[in-house]
Every structure is written in structure tokens, then in C-alpha cells.
Structure 1
Amino acid sequence: MPDVVQRLVEMRVRRPDAVAEAAANRRRPASLLGEHGRLLMVAADHPARGALRAGARPMAMADRADMLERLVLALSRPEVNGVLGTADVLEDLLLLGALDDKVVIGSMNRGGLAGTAFEIDDRFTAYDAASIAAAGFEGGKMLVRIDPEDAATAPTLEAAGRAVSELAGNGLMAMVEPFISHRDGPNGRVRNDLSTEAMIRAMTVAAGLGTTSAHTWLKVPVVEDMERAMAATTLPALILGGEVSADPDAAYESWQKALTLPTVQGLVLGRSLLYPADDDVEGALDTVVSLL
């Protein structure tokens, strides 16, 4: 996409107001759910947190032209009715005319950079509720990692609660992605606890954030006892695809089972859809669409 990159750079240099114009002219979706009755979203907010790995490729998401090509391909499918990203990515897609009739969710807290000492301190460094509303997007997403041993969890929870309230005040979706997390030693990697019990705890905390839950959706991974986990809340939930699986067939099967649960309303797939192990994005799209 070299010509596309050149066109995007020229617009950003010569006509920065083209971004706001494209947002104002975007055709908004009639519903959060697609014709298949689900919300099928592609996520592309990983680079803003310094997380560029996809499977065995440590810098897979470092090539913006390649990432945009994969995103545009995914969004060209009518069954893929939403996208999640930070301003730089969403504005590229706006300028490319790829967001008409799509549910657009702005990623809000990208300050907990991957692999840093302050990773749990998920500051709100990207979108806020006011900018999401001004852009005419459908909602905002926030990552809420709860580390029982890291005091930085508390201000993250406070900020997330405020964001949920402000989004709801604008009638916009608050997509909350909660985890119980732990660090491997003082300077070790932050790992998310994917046990059923930890996910239940994280979900119940996330569901109570803010002054109302009327517009709150949860974004959760598949855990061992998904039925028991999802029984912990009545909030609508989206299954997240997570990292590229070494066994994609098993991942697809787990997503399909989760979609039978009453609270599960769709899927949010990022690297697992854009960078599948065999690099066949079309094939991954076909398989995911068949799950719906």
C-alpha cells in the first residue's frame, strides 16, 4: 500500500482538517449488532501500548501499511461490523473511507505500556468520552487490570469508573476489559490470571464501575468454565480473541461454544484475525464468520 501511505501522509500534512470532515461525513450504523445479530469487531489498539507481537512474529504490527491493508480487508466484509482502535489508526481508516456503517470504538487507556515497570498504571492517554462523542463514534474501550499487590490499580479503577459514567452520559457504549493480573517478580512480566475464579472476580468489579451500567459491555477471554463465569453478570459481553493461537481450531471451537451463552453478544478479534498463524486473513475471516 505505498500509494495509500503517501496519500494519507499528504492529507495529514496539507489537510489535517480532513480527519474531522471524514468523521462528520461517516455513515453511522443503524444498530450495534450486525445483520447476523452479533457484534463482530476487529481490534487494532495494540501498537499504542507498545505490544507489536503477533504469534511468532515479534514486530508484526510495526508495519502500518501492512496493518491497514489487513484492517481494510477485514472491514470490507459486511459481517465484520465494528472496529476498535486508537486515534491514529481510526483516523487512517476514516481517511480511507473504511468506516461507513461500522461500529467504531475508541481505545481510551493506553498508558500501561507492555513490559514496563508502570504497566499496571493504565493511564488514560488516548481518547476520552468527549472526543469520542465529538467524532461521532459509538463508544470507548478501557483495559482494567487489577493487581492485588500494585497500588497503581486504584487510580486506574477510579479513572475507569469516571470514563464509564462520562460515556454513559453521552449515550455511548463503555467496553470494559477486566483482568486479575500479577507481576512475575519486582520487575517481571505482567500476566493475566485466566482461571474461572479470577475472571468472575474481575467481571464483577468491572460491572460495578461508574454511576450506571446501562451502556456497559464487558470484553472477556474464554476461560475453562465459561458458563459459570458468564453467570456472574447480566451485562452483555464480547469474547476477545487474544494472541494468535498455536491451535486455531481449538480457539474457534471455544469461541463457538461461548457464543451459545445468553450474555455473549459477539466477538472482538485482533491479532488472531489479522495475523493468523498461516497468514491467511481471508481464511480466518471465513471461519470466524461461519461461527455466527
Structure 2
Amino acid sequence: MSFSSATFFPDALLHAIIDARVERPSLALNAAQHRKRRDKLTLDGRLNIIAADHPARFVSNVGTNLLGMADRRDYLARILRVLVSDGVDGVMASMDILEDLLLVDALRAEQDLTPLLENKVLIASLNRGGLAGAAWELDDPMTGPSPATCAQWNLDGAKTLLRVDINEPASLKTMMACAEAITACNALDLPMFLEPLPVAKTDKGYPVTKTAEAVARLAGVSSALGDSSRNLWLKLPYTEDFATVARSTTLPIVLLGGESAGNPKPFLEQLRTAMDSGYNVRGAMVGRNVLFPGNGDPGIIARAASAIIHDKLDAQAAFDGFASPLEAPDTLYPGGTR
């Protein structure tokens, strides 16, 4: 089933967001501070979170389309399409995207429309300075909001990335920055989602070493960062023998998605296998594989992932569910005149 971002997220809504940024710059903060939050992070011990922090770290490609995530209206439309799907717990994004989403809710409220972010989990990416392809790529400290800012904005958690190449001294600086961020989150009782990735330099950059041994060893290091692991979750890549990875920690694990394959079925199969690999594997925090499923509707793909995570369906049953239409509004902003 195809999806039209221009219909779902009309020009009137895009123009209203831009006007609000010019004329009412505090509108997003006000919406955040008055947002109704759920009582606890997870309702059933599991999480299905959409990841939307890629453009902030110089990653805009979807497959061979180098600017696949560079159209902000299309990107926001896909994120919101997923958020209105059944079983999607929330979104992890950079602050600018979270602010755009909060502005959508505030503008919809002015038209007496149902809020979209109420009881959803909002997690801020603390972002990173090691831009993809940069000469300083592994000198990768936080460049986004602080944990204190996350608390001020009434958010539900924070996320950061830790890439480690043991032959790159800059990895130590990044690891120390992550430890400090974890400690700061603990002082505010704020959940932290840490994405530790073992990498090794090649002539094409720093690809992730996706072996159970490499990921398990780094998970052991990551579990010990900061002053306490009490609020720490790990976001980990899928590997063969994922049970070895799951056994490396008692921390809850969510699976990341990686590059969009255009065909969501392999990702769903990996998700099901990972969920069966350990009691502490508790869901997914995935971006491109859900947001850009070829010509399909991202909301339906998100619902299939939810069926695996929350309803414990197998991948084939979830995949078969793609045929049923998604119950969602045709447009987020009916009657707009801008």
C-alpha cells in the first residue's frame, strides 16, 4: 500500500510550523511541558520506538537516494504516520525534530484535534559531533541537549551513541563523554539508551563489526559506564548468534535497524530471532527500515514490528498483516488555510 506524505502532511501544516517558529518560538516548549505522559516507560516490559536522529549526524541517505531523509516534510510525515500506528510506543529523535512534532500537536490542539504525542515515549538524542565521513569522525562527543534539558522539556529519556575502534585514541574521549551523560541522567532519574557499536576503520569509513563476539564484549564495557546502570538500556545491532550478545548483560536490550533494505521482511525476521534470543531483549529502536519500506506504508510496517514485540507473533504472521489497511487519519491538518 502506497503512502502520500504530501496528503498526510499538507502544505498548510508545514507553513504553520514555520510561522510558529518565527512568531511563537516557545510554543513547542509549552506543548512539551503540558504534554500528558504515561506513568512508566514501558507498559508491558517492551518497547517499539521509531528512531529519527539520522539527519543530525550527516546521514541522509536511504539506499541509493543520498537525500532520502533530507526532505523534512516527508520525514515528519513518515514519523507521524508511524506514531499513529497501533503498538508504537514513541520516538527517539534530535531536538529539532521533537520540536517539530510538538508543534504539530500544538497546532492540532488549536483546531480541537486529538493529540498525537499524549502518552507516547519521547526520547531525545544527545546527538554526536563525529559526523559521518569527517576527519574527526570518532572524536564523537555530545552536541545536542543535556540531560537537564531533557528533564526541562518533560521528555521520557535520552539516547547517545558510542562507537569504539580500539585503534583510535579518540574513542576514549567519546566513552568518557558517554559515561558523564549516563551519570547526569541518573541524577535526574532519566532513562538512558546507549548505542555501543564496535567499529574498525577501512578505506570506506568505520563500518560496524557485526559479530556476536565484538558486540558482546562492547556490551560488557558499556554496561559498566557511569556511576550506575540502574537507568541504562542498550541499543544493539543484530548479529548471528544473538543469544551470545543477550547473555553478555542483564540490561534491557532494544534492537537497532541499520540501513534500509527496501524490503522489510528480513528486518522483521531478525527482530523475531533477536526477541527469542534472550529474556532481556525487549524490543526495537528502528528508523529507516520502518520509515522507508520501499513503496509501502511505514505505518503498516511499524504495526508489524509491534505485533512481533508486543503480541509475540512470528515474522510471517506479522508480515502477512501488511495487507490490512491502517486506521489513521487521511491528513494531520484538515481545513488548514495557510
TM bin, normalised by shorter chain, reads over 0.9
Correspondence list, 1:91-170, <5 A:
91-97=99-105, 98-170=116-188
Distance (Å, rounded) in 1 between the aligned partners of 2:13 and 2:263: 34
Distance (Å, rounded) in 2 between the aligned partners of 1:236 and 1:156: 22
Distance (Å, rounded) in 1 between the aligned partners of 2:168 and 2:302: 39
Determine if the alignment matches structure 1 residue 182 to structure 2 residue 200: yes
Correspondence list, 1:1-292, <5 A:
1-34=10-43, 37-97=45-105, 98-185=116-203, 188-245=204-261, 248-260=264-276, 261-292=278-309
| Alignment deviations for residues 47-90 of structure 1 (CA, whole Å, 9 cap, x no partner) | 00010011232211000000111111111124111110111000
| Alignment deviations for residues 207-245 of structure 1 (CA, whole Å, 9 cap, x no partner) | 110000000000001101100111000001111112112
SS at match of 1:116: coil
| Alignment deviations for residues 77-132 of structure 1 (CA, whole Å, 9 cap, x no partner) | 24111110111000000111132211111101321111111111112100111101
The amino acid of 1:264's aligned partner reads: V
| Alignment deviations for residues 33-57 of structure 1 (CA, whole Å, 9 cap, x no partner) | 24x5421100100000010011232
| Offset at residue 267 of structure 1 (A) | 0.9
Higher strand share: 1
Q: Which 4+ residue blocks in structure 1 deviate beyond 4 angstroms?
A: none
Please tell me whether the aligned partners of residues 109 and 122 of structure 1 are also in contact (alpha carbons under 8 angstroms).
Answer: no
Distance (Å, rounded) in 1 between the aligned partners of 2:39 and 2:64: 39
| Offset at residue 247 of structure 1 (A) | 5.0
**Same amino acid, percent of matched pairs:** 35
Please tell me whether the aligned partners of residues 238 and 266 of structure 1 are also in contact (alpha carbons under 8 angstroms).
Answer: yes
TM-score normalized by the length of structure 1? 0.95
The residue that corresponds to 2:110 in the other structure is none
TM-score normalized by the length of structure 2? 0.83
Q: 1:180 to 1:171 in 2, by over 3 A?
A: same
SS at match of 2:283: strand
The amino acid of 2:127's aligned partner reads: N
| Offset at residue 246 of structure 1 (A) | 5.5
Give the alignment's Cα RMSD to 1 decimal: 1.4
Structure with greater contact order relative to length (CA < 8 Å, sep ≥ 6)? 2
| Offset at residue 280 of structure 1 (A) | 2.8
Please tell me whether the aligned partners of residues 85 and 299 of structure 2 are also in contact (alpha carbons under 8 angstroms).
Answer: no
Bigger Cα Rg: 2
